[in-house]
């Protein structure tokens, strides 16, 4: 079946503008995650959603970052008043919930954000 998809694949914006990044998880996956990878760094956890539970927002770096998940499927990550340090690849992942392999997080190709 289809994997995790993200759009746009690339986004260039000016400092101070707002951006929205979209993630379509694998059908049937109840958990959705956002990570980012800055240049030369590992993946940094941002937020995750599980069903109707309150999301774990513990990784969001500032209140300029927010995310929502509509209808338990598609998610949008919004960055307000972008700064140059927000430049990174933003990766979305989804997983089932259970034991063993159903928990595995499957990643999308990412959105490369460049803030000028």
Partner 1 sequence: DQQVKQNSPSLSVQEGRISILNCDYTNSMFDYFLWYKKYPAEGPTFLISISSIKDKNEDGRFTVFLNKSAKHLSLHIVPSQPGDSAVYFCAAAAGGTSYGKLTFGQGTILTVHP
Residues lying near partner 1 in the complex (CB under 8 A) are found at 4, 31, 33, 35, 40-45, 48, 56, 58-59, 91, 93, 95, 97-99, 103-110
Choose between 71 and 98: whose C-beta lies nearer to partner 1.
Answer: 98
**Distance between first and last Cα of the chain:** 37
Residue 70 CB, nearest distance to partner 1 (Å)? 22
What does the block give as tokens for 56? 């774990």
Which is nearer to partner 1, 12 or 81 (by Cβ)?
12
Q: Min. distance of Cβ 45 from partner 1 in angstroms?
A: 5
Which residue, 30 or 82, has its beta carbon nearer to partner 1?
30
* Closer residue to partner 1 in complex, CB, 59/80: 59
Tokens of residue 89, six digits: 């690849």
The distance of closest approach from Cβ of residue 27 to partner 1 in the complex, given in angstroms and rounded to an integer, is 17
Distance CA 83, CA 69 (A): 24
Give 38-71 as a DSSP string: -TT--EEEEEEEETTSPPB-TT--STTEEEEEST
Q: Both tokens of residue 50? A: 């599980």
């Amino acid at each position: 079946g289809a994997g995790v998809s993200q759009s746009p694949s690339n986004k260039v914006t000016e400092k101070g503008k707002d951006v929205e990044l979209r993630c379509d998880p694998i059908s049937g996956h109840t958990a959705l995650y956002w990570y980012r990878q800055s240049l030369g760094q590992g993946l940094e956890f941002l937020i995750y959603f599980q069903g109707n539970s309150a999301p774990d927002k513990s990784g969001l770096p500032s209140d300029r970052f927010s995310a929502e998940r509509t209808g338990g499927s598609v998610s949008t990550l919004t960055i307000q008043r972008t700064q140059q340090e927000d430049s990174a690849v933003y990766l979305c992942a989804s997983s089932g919930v259970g034991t063993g392999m159903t928990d595995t997080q499957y990643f999308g190709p990412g959105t490369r954000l460049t803030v000028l």
